[in-house]
Amino acid sequence: MVTNPPADTLYSAEDIENYLGISRATVYTLARKGILPKIRVSPRLIRFRASDVEAFLRGLQDRGKGTAK
């Protein structure tokens, strides 16, 4: 995965797995729960928009900042 990709770039679950260092099952769980927005390309194929992945990461950073005292 390229750093700072165009916002409309689409990535597979495998790309997200490698980029975030989490399991593919976790990627699908996050997508199913709506935590990580997905785009359904076909009934069995989903993709992830680069801008949504970056927003997800920013949300994790923001959440971490609020817990430190």
Q: Where are the domains of the chain?
A: 10-67
User: What residues have CB less than 8 Å from 15, skipping those under 6 apart?
Assistant: 1, 48
CATH topology of domain 10-67: Multidrug-efflux Transporter Regulator; Chain: A; Domain 2 (1.10.1660)
Work out the average pLDDT over 2-29: 89
**Residue 64 has what pLDDT?**
74
**4: helix, strand or coil:** coil
Asked whether the predicted pLDDT for residue 2 surpasses 90, the reply is: no
- The predicted-structure confidence for 58-68, as pLDDT tens digits, reads as follows 998 887 776 55
Gap between the Cα atoms of 6 and 10, Å rounded? 9
**Residue 61 has what pLDDT?**
83
- pTM to 2 decimals? 0.78
